[in-house]
A and B are shown apart, each in its own frame.
Chain A
Amino acid sequence: MPKVQASRRGKEEPPEGWSDLEPTLQEFKQKMRDAENESAAGKRRVESTWSVMRVHHQRSRYIYDLFYKRKAISRKLYDYCVKNGHADANLIAKWRKQGFEKLCCLQCIQARDTNYGTACICRVPKAKLEEGRVVECVHCGCRGCASTD
């Protein structure tokens, strides 16, 4: 039988450097669980998922930071993390593009989700917003993720 099947059965071994990462990632995992289990008291209807989105962003940011910015982990380790759900590859792909370095979540650039086919209000730089207006976007509670902010 091809080798693939054999490696699929058992859990793949984590690459080198994993032990340095593991405690932080465990913390993130715990945070995520807490966010999922929060009570919905005193929150708006949309607000209930904001903390989940937040942890998701933070977690992916951590891995992105280590690999692309600080270059502190290997490609193998990076791929391993992504594969095991510790980071969102699609979101990280956006962060590598110019102008999207601080993107909050993937929903906010989805034009299909808006009434007029635009991006979310949180993508508007504060300089363009005027009126001293504070926005919390409805998808993730972001207050502004333009690269200039």
Chain B
Amino acid sequence: MAAAAGDGAEFPILCETCLGDNPYVRMTKEPMGRECKVCVRPFTVFRWLPGRGMRYKKTEICPTCAKLKNVCQTCVLDLEFGLPVQARDSALGIEGSVPQQDGNRRDYTARTAGSLDVVGGETEFSGRAQPAGRAMLERIARKGPYYRRNKPHICSFFVKGQCTRGNECPYRHEMPQGDPELAKQNIVDRYHGNNDPVAKRMLARAGKRAAPLTAPEDKSVTSLFVMGLGDAVAQDDLRDHFAAYGELKSVAIAPKGACAFVNFKTRAGAEAAAQAALGGCVVGGQALRVAWGKPRPKGPTTEVGGSGSGNGGGGGVGGVPRIPAPPGAAGAAMYPSQDPTARGAS
């Protein structure tokens, strides 16, 4: 009867969040259950409960479409980062190879359907060749599964005040929160990476966080604080890279090896280097984050890492924490932590 057996999918291509927290999840499989939301071809629909108090989720796009963009079949977010297609593609410089127009797309997906046995196909989605972009994505990505996404949808009757189901209503009785601009999403646009409000917002925020490479007012600061060094980056690599922007006074790597100070002889050189490293520079294969150093340029710091915003870690000689003035003595600092000259944990 069914000449088209459909895809022989045994298990859907899903992200951690969509699958849920239950290791014993039960799933129904319905061969040729629905049309794919992107390519409109029938495919095997899987349906499961991603945890207690969640709504039932099902696969929305077919495995072919999912593989072509390396996304989850339900939420259409990247499998590796959990980020929208538009965000990932712009960060990694991936050109969309899936045609968007009706006929072209149908032809393309039909042609590639059989030959995709490895997720991702020919395109490289993890960005190993673009460490800067990849580092950026790793920063924006969530650190753990986000199960809030699996909650039941908001009861539209409740919003109007007309929900007659009351207590047994399976939908959420809450008012819609969040920016209404972000609510206007369309699965096909999200899949191809066009016009995705969430992606746009993410990229804007990431861009802003990189921007505090604005020069500090203190003109004597000529040092840059560099984070993200791995084992591979040696002092020489840093010297070679930054010497191109101006003469270096010194390069000091922290004993832990995760960050370094690059001190320039001239302020102009420092600024040039900072500008060039705006999006994140790559030295010795490692993607680095560059920020302005604090007004004590020399010496390594005992603290590792720090935020990506304009402040580097304390640049003083690590070790003895200075006992801060008693609270209220100077009048300016109420708490030890407010004292800007305090070093280390008190």
Interface residues of A (CB under 8 A from B): 42, 115-116, 131, 134-136, 143
Contacts and interface: CB of A to CB of B under 8 A. Distances in A.
Contact of B52 (A42, A131, A134): A131
A42 B53 contact: no
Nearest to A116: B26
Name B's interface SS.
loop
A42 B168 contact: no
B111 to A, nearest CB: 35
Interface in B149-165: 164-165
A143 B166 CA distance: 14
A117 to B, nearest CB: 10
Contacts of A42: 164
A131 B167 CA distance: 12
B28 interface: yes
A93 B28 CA distance: 33
B168 A136 contact: yes
A143 B165 CA distance: 13
Interface of B: 26, 28, 47, 52-53, 164-165, 167-168
A91 B286 CA distance: 73
Contacts, number: 13
Given A42-B164, A134-B168, A136-B168, A116 B28 contact: yes
Contacts of B53: 131
B167 A134 contact: yes
A93 B53 CA distance: 36
Contacts of A131: 52-53
Contacts of B52: 131
Given A42-B164, A131-B53, A134-B167, 10 more contacts: A115-B28, A115-B47, A116-B26, A116-B28, A131-B52, A134-B168, A135-B168, A136-B165, A136-B168, A143-B168
A51 to B, nearest CB: 15
A135 B167 CA distance: 9
B83 to A, nearest CB: 32
A143 B26 CA distance: 24
Contacts of A135: 168
Contacts of B167: 134
Nearest to A141: B168
Nearest to B166: A134
A115 B168 CA distance: 21
B133 to A, nearest CB: 43
B59 to A, nearest CB: 15
A143 B28 CA distance: 25
B146 to A, nearest CB: 22
Contacts of A143: 168
Which 6 pairs between the two chains have the least Cβ-Cβ distance? A134-B168, A134-B167, A136-B168, A115-B28, A116-B26, A135-B168
13 contacts: A42-B164, A115-B28, A115-B47, A116-B26, A116-B28, A131-B52, A131-B53, A134-B167, A134-B168, A135-B168, A136-B165, A136-B168, A143-B168
Nearest to A115: B28
A99 B89 CA distance: 59
Contacts of B47: 115
Contacts of B28: 115-116
A42 B28 CA distance: 31
A143 to B, nearest CB: 8
Nearest to B162: A42
